[in-house]
Amino acid sequence: MLPLPVLERAAIEMTNANGTGQSVMEMSHRSGDFKPIIDKTEALLREIMHIPANYRVLFLQGGASLQFSMIPLNLAAGAEPGKASRRALYVDTGVWAQKAIEEAAKYADVSVQASSKDKNYTYIPAPSAAAGDEAYYHITLNNTIVGTRWPELPPAKLLGKVPLAADASSCILSEPLDVSRFGILYAGAQKNLGPAGTTVVIIREDLIGKAPAWTPVLLRYDIHAGEGSMYNTPPCYGIYIIGLVLEWLKAQGGVAAMEQKNREKAALLYDYLETSRMFRSPVEKPSRSLMNIPFVPVETGPDKRKEIEIRFVKEAAASGLVNLAGHRLLGGMRASIYNAMPTEGVQALVAFMESFEKRN
């Protein structure tokens, strides 16, 4: 979901944004009409996330998936294509972490420091220490498919001077993050920030300018930082919507207030799953996500389980509860309760689940 007030304001301003007589989609990205929009969006993000002055904020394209390539290219690739310059450390916590690892291996000497694959990624593993000279240490903060999150960041003493890199796509702005703990944070917008198509990268300045000469120009952080995210046409409308979302978030009380709401929403569903005789959470308690909550039928035969899942998703949709099918790789059901999902939405889901359980 996007916040309803954001959608309503965007509708009002569709043909006349900021009194310009234009839609944001019609503006030149280099015009005096658009510059206040991107400047306001960056300023709000810096304010809300308490981003230190020695970090750059970039608005890019390509989703988090492109960052799987850009980070190793800029921080660990060698002087010649296909040759790594430095080692990069990764923690494997699911599909998106795996994809990041696979892509990084093309440009860096990758070492997987820990993995939860042994239990189908139902927990966050204890990370091992860095040696101290690696290019970066990468984690995926929230794992959408399996429904896990890092309950706390890897200890600073474990990392030493190795920069921490993190995919925050599905949890950014859901709870406070100490940006100074990271070398680079990145997030695809289509969860808590705005519509799909924009990627936010927050990178410490000393990590910019390390890409080898052969790196394609659009994959260089120094190019984007030097041009204020406008080397080429940025995703203007997405940046505008992110700005509206940030205004809404600030009016809600900021990230700390949002965390409290998110914990309350997640507790409603997790508490029900603890008492249900029909559904359960497959995720270990300390690692449970606040954003993505998978649930499955209690142990039955595979045919019966599939029958229950199909019937549940169909009847839920008929009741106005949509997008509850689990990821195609995992099955089951999954409720994504991002920032804009109101408490009433989770209450409605729990009420439906109780009714479904009684009827079945």
Please report, as a single letter, which amino acid is at residue 260: Q
pLDDT band with cut points at 50, 70 and 90 for residue 328: confident
What are the tens digits of pLDDT across the range 129-177? Answer: 999 999 999 999 999 999 999 999 999 999 999 999 999 999 999 999 9
Strands 87-92 and 109-115: parallel
Catalytic residue among 33, 92, 96, 261: 96
117 is an active site residue:
no
Identify the active-site residue in 191, 210, 261, 265: 191
Residue 314 annotated to the active site: no
User: What residue type is assigned to position 42 of the chain?
Assistant: E
CA distance 31 to 35: 6
Q: Which two tokens stand for residue 130?
A: 């860095």
What strands, in cross-sheet order, belong to the sheet with 279-280? 279-280, 292-297, 333-336
Q: What is the pTM of this model?
A: 0.96
Active site residue 167: yes
What domains can you pick out in the chain, each with its CATH number? Answer: 4-251 (3.40.640.10), 254-359 (3.90.1150.10)
Terminal C-alpha separation, the chain? 30
Helix (H) or strand (E) holding 58: strand 55-60
pLDDT digits (tens, 9 = 90+) for 238-297: 999 999 999 999 999 999 999 999 999 999 999 999 999 999 999 999 999 999 999 999
pLDDT, residue 216, reads: 96
In one letter, which amino acid is 234? P
Is pLDDT above 90 for 303? no
pLDDT of residue 58: 98
In the prediction, which pLDDT does 302 show?
Answer: 82
For residues 203-235, b (16+ Cβ closer than 10 Å) or e, as one string? bbeebbebbbeebeeebbbbbbbeebbbeeebb
* Annotated active-site residue in 33, 92, 109, 167: 167
In which residue are the tokens 């729990």 written?
A: 350
For residue 118 the two structure tokens come to 């042994």
Whole-number pLDDT of residue 292: 97
What CA–CA distances, in Å, run from 177 to 100, 135, 237? Answer: 21, 22, 26
Q: What is the DSSP letter of 117?
A: G
